[in-house]
Structure 1
Amino acid sequence: MAVSLQVIYPVKDGSTFDHDYYLGKHFELVGEHMGPHIASSLVTRGHAGGPDTPPGYHAIATMTFADQAAFDAAMGAAGPVLGDIPNFTNVQPDILVGEVIA
């Protein structure tokens, strides 16, 4: 069973998010530390929440893993990645771990 990890950065009053740092530096750390265990990844930058509605999220990162063992290995190596979050945002991300069903 494939496992997914979504890291969701909500827009809140006074929140900041440095997209250049996130893509240029943070995702380098993701690749260095977690990359060997990731089957695929996708980053979505929020542009809108609907017609004439601002985005509810700065960004959503989705990573998939072949199975629970690969996910566990990636999370075991994620310390430097997690420690880097304050370097690009002041938002506490929401996390969703799930089973890939489609």
Structure 2
Amino acid sequence: MKTKFHLLIFAIVILTGCQSKIADKSEIKAGMVKVTIMYPNGEGKTFDMDYYATKHMPMVAELLGESLKSLSVDKGISGRTPDDDIPYVAIGYLYFNKLSDYQESFGPNAQKIVGDIPNYTNIQPIIQISEVFKVPKKSLSDN
């Protein structure tokens, strides 16, 4: 158990370093394109978060190059209540200035990126491409 905890901390440190290098390129703004990669939970499904965070996502960042403006990863910890199963074991986010940036950088690298999936999971990911939509921030003290 202690070893798993240390591996998780190590993965978070590595991923945070990867995120900060990419996040420095651009802040996330309205109008950007966000590619969301969701890994649904379920019976018999496996997911190696350490591999995903320390090997797969840094590889994706390198392959997508300058077109990738930011990335982040969520690790599922609970459903709606602490007793509910997590709906997704992990969710990855990739941010681009425009859809063509994603298409032009992912297309030539798709085989390598998708080919790496069996190294960390047996889950078929669900992909959603969205436009970032920001609502103006409202201070809680304005209520």
TM-score by length of 1: 0.91
Aligned-residue Cα RMSD (Å) equals 1.2
Per-residue deviation, 1:31:
1.5
- Tell me how many residue pairs correspond in the alignment: 102
Moved more, 3-12 or 27-36: 27-36
More strand by share: 1
Structure 1 letter corresponding to 2:69: A
Structure 2 letter corresponding to 1:55: I
TM-score by length of 2: 0.67
Q: Provide the rounded CA distance (Å) in 2 between the counterparts of 1:68 and 1:95.
A: 14
What 5-or-longer segments of structure 1 have no aligned partner? none
Which structure carries more relative contact order (alpha carbon 8 Å, separation 6+)?
A: 1
**Equivalent pair of 1:7/1:95 in contact (CA under 8 Å):** yes
Which residue is equivalent to 1:4?
34
Which stretches of structure 1, 4 residues or longer, exceed 2 Å deviation after superposition? Answer: none
Q: Provide the rounded CA distance (Å) in 1 between the counterparts of 2:79 and 2:51.
A: 23
Which residue is equivalent to 1:62?
93
Structure 1 letter corresponding to 2:130: G
Which residue is equivalent to 2:125?
93
Q: Provide the rounded CA distance (Å) in 2 between the counterparts of 1:14 and 1:69.
A: 36
Q: Which of residues 5, 22, 40 is equivalent to 2:70?
A: 40
**3-state DSSP of counterpart to 2:54:** helix
More helix by share: 2
Per-residue deviation, 1:86:
0.7
Per-residue deviation, 1:94:
0.4
Structure 2 letter corresponding to 1:39: K
Which residue is equivalent to 2:116?
84
Q: Provide the rounded CA distance (Å) in 1 between the counterparts of 2:36 and 2:99.
A: 15
Q: Deviations over 1:14-71 (max 9, x none)?
A: 0000011111111121112113211111100000012221211110001110012211
